[in-house]
Structure 1
């Protein structure tokens, strides 16, 4: 079945990437490459994103005090962007695939349960340059930074809210940046 306007090809890519991440995790059950898998859904100005990823804890604790500490993890992801005003034409679509790798610092309880706050700055490679809704990114290489808060439940499910910003850091103009509000759902093995 060919993709339609309501069923774009990138959705199939996200599903395939998620299945691949779970298959890799299952095949390395004893020797885990990563600890957590997640899905994210995001929205910005005339742009939406779906992303799947996996994380690997650093298994370090800094500044331990009163049952809390600073820790972190590596985050590898693949995402799909869908702009709805490509080249500033209402209704014109732009689909972009995003591959990212981000080191993330997280302030949390030592048990890794309950509330946390985190921040990260990573590298992202887009399948093409972004030109949507008067915003342009003139390079496929982007820095992606985020701040977020979340909660890890006792059954290892996690929910979070994040603010994500993409920019090439002034490498080449135009570089208006792209901002997203993100909802994350994750499961820790």
Structure 2
């Protein structure tokens, strides 16, 4: 009897997440960093076939593939220099109960750039870096096909090579589900 009740409660919890967005997206993202750093990124998220439940909320996973352009003002140089940054990151997303459009996500992954990033105060020592982020998002649209997210992302080489100054970006992302 207890097992039937537990199974029924579990099935009800899983059913409430049936309309959760688990589809690929295309996104556009802009960011600002300390000391005049800027970024513009396009990318795609690709769902993983993994889901679990934690404290009555769903946790899903996806891959985030991105291509960005970063630049910043540099001292003793001729203005800004654009660098291309390619990234791949696994991400976990924590969904609130299905009737609420809010979500939180976190991820960490690898990024490679075509030049070393530098601004007035710091210069990266490697073209390969790690990026980790935390984001707060909100779904909009009749079928929750749009999502908006505010993110904080940190990039550094995890002390692979010195110096390791790192850079922090505040980012705004718009994504469209397909």
Task: Tell me if TM exceeds 0.5.
Answer: yes
Match of 1:157 in 2: 146
Structure 1 residue runs without a partner (length 5+):
1-33
- Greater C-alpha Rg: 2
CA contact (8 A) 1:53 1:78 kept: yes
RMSD (CA atoms): 1.9
Deviation readout 1:24-67 (Å, 9 max, x if unpaired):
xxxxxxxxxx710000000012110000000111132212554x
Of 63, 66, 86 in structure 1, the residue corresponding to residue 53 of structure 2 is 63
| Change over 3 Å in CA distance of 1:112–1:47 after alignment to 2 | farther
| Greater RCO (Cα-Cα under 8 Å, separation 6 or more) | 2
Deviation readout 1:66-88 (Å, 9 max, x if unpaired):
4x21111001000000112x2x3
TM-score by length of 1: 0.75
> SS at the partner of 2:136?
strand
CA contact (8 A) 2:134 2:151 kept: yes
| Change over 3 Å in CA distance of 1:146–1:106 after alignment to 2 | same
Trace 1:26-41 onto structure 2 (pairs within 5 A).
Answer: 35-41=24-30
> SS at the partner of 2:82?
strand
> SS at the partner of 2:148?
strand
Deviation readout 1:139-160 (Å, 9 max, x if unpaired):
0000011001000124411000
Match of 2:113 in 1: 126
Q: Alignment length, in residue pairs?
A: 153
Q: CA deviation at 1:89?
A: 3.6
4+ residue segments displaced more than 3 Å: 109-113
Structure 2 residue runs without a partner (length 5+):
1-22
TM-score by length of 2: 0.80
Q: Distance in 2 between matches of 1:40 and 1:114?
A: 20
Match of 2:70 in 1: 81
CA contact (8 A) 2:71 2:117 kept: no
CA contact (8 A) 1:112 1:152 kept: no
Trace 1:1-189 onto structure 2 (pairs within 5 A).
Answer: 35-45=24-34, 46-66=36-56, 68-84=57-73, 86=74, 88-89=75-76, 92-109=79-96, 111=98, 114-155=101-142, 156-189=145-178
